[in-house]
Structures are given as C-alpha cells and as structure tokens.
C-alpha cells in the first residue's frame, strides 16, 4: 500500500459539526422547532457560496431565515453558531496519534474569523499549525468539487499520490476519487484510528503522546 505523507481533513463533519449541523442546531434552539434545512430552496447553493466566500455569514443566515420563515434576527446567529461549534475530542485524539512525518492539513469551510476563535478556544494549533489550515472562503476557488482536488496538491506542496483526504460527505469523496485523489469517507473517531492502523500510519502497540484537548 502506497504511503501517504499529506493527510487532509475537511473540518465540518470530521473535526467539528458540519455547516448543516451547526445551522440546524442554532435555529432549532432559537425557534424551538424542528427544522429540515435541506428542504429549503437554494440551501445547498447557499452553503457552497458561503464556503467559497461569495457571501458572508450575515448574508448566509439572512437567506436561510428568510426562506425558512423562522422569524429570527439573522444578525444574532453568527455569534451563536461560533459559540456552539466545537471539535470532537476523540477525533482530535486519533489525529494526535499521527507521527510527525505525516503532514496534517485542515480544510476549513468557515470564515477565518470563526476559525480563529475556535482554534484559540480549543487549542487547535496543537493538531493543525496555522500554516496548515486552508480557509476555503479565502482560497479564491470558484467551485468546491471537483476543482478543489486540483488545487490541493499545489497548496500542500505534495504529489496527488502522496495525499490522503478524509471527509464525511460521500459526494465530495466520490468527486475526489473520480479525480484520482486518494480519499476516505469519515465515519467516526474509532474508524479513523483503525484506518490509521490499517495503513500503517500508526502502531497501536506503541504509546504516542497526544496533545490535550481543551473543552
């Protein structure tokens, strides 16, 4: 099995809640109603525009609240979303097992201001140095998939064959594989650790120092 050196993780759904999950969480808490955001007109399109930096967080939530007729003040939503967005400690612990020879990269679909607050609060730099965090709204990309899989090898400074990408979204993983970009669907922290063992990234019998997770 070919050894991968650049290990890339999509943030939402792997490290933290996805954009769908965090938006649902905040709107349900505020409106006291169950919501199905996937049923809203243009929801997926708005998510992509937000991820690519074509609209800001206020525009994103204004559109969502308007389409859903939730009757909420969109200006109050971004700060609440940042407040509830947090990393999964078991996933970070699994990533912390990777030896230094593996370069860890984070693909963040949230704005830089969001990420900086989350990184400071939870000590994310112990797992992803700031120069290994790709803020997608600042990337200048016009499209996520499949264009991002041409962009990534250049951005991380590695060959396509030497990369491995983890994402919870099957559509993006399929798009990566169709681009010949090695990719794995993220399931849960235990499965992630087993994936590392199976690929000989880590030796589970050897103790490895894992940075503490501050929650």
**pLDDT single digits (tens) 50-102:** 999 999 999 999 999 999 999 999 999 999 999 999 999 999 999 999 999 99
pLDDT in tens, 9-56: 999 999 999 999 999 999 999 999 999 999 998 999 999 999 999 999
Residue 173 pLDDT exceeds 50 = yes
State the residue for tokens 């030497």.
162
Contacts of 44-51 spanning 24+ positions with Cβ under 8 A: 47/19, 47/20, 48/143, 48/144, 50/19, 50/109, 50/137, 51/19, 51/109, 51/136, 51/137, 51/144
Structure confidence at residue 186 (pLDDT)? 98
Question: Residue 45 contacts by C-beta under 8 Å, 6 or more apart in sequence?
Answer: none
């Amino acid at each position: 099995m070919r050894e991968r050196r650049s290990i890339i993780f999509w943030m939402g759904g792997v490290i933290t809640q996805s954009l769908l999950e965090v938006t649902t969480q905040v709107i349900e808490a505020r409106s006291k109603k169950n919501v199905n955001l996937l049923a809203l007109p243009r929801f997926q399109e708005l998510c992509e525009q937000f991820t690519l930096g074509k609209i800001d967080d206020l525009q994103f939530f204004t559109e969502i609240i308007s389409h859903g007729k939730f009757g909420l003040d969109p200006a109050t939503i971004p700060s609440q979303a940042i407040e509830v967005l947090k990393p999964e400690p078991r996933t970070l612990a699994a990533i912390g097992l990777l030896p230094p020879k593996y370069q860890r990269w984070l693909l963040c679909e949230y704005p830089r201001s969001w990420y900086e607050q989350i990184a400071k609060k939870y000590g994310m730099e112990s797992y992803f140095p700031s120069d290994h965090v790709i803020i997608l709204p600042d990337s200048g990309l016009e499209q996520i998939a499949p264009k991002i899989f041409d962009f990534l090898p250049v951005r991380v400074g590695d060959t396509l064959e030497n990369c491995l990408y983890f994402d919870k979204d099957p559509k993006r993983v399929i798009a990566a594989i169709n681009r010949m970009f090695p990719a794995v669907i993220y399931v849960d922290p235990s499965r992630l650790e087993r994936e590392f063992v199976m690929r000989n990234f880590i030796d589970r019998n050897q103790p490895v120092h894992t940075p503490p997770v501050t929650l």
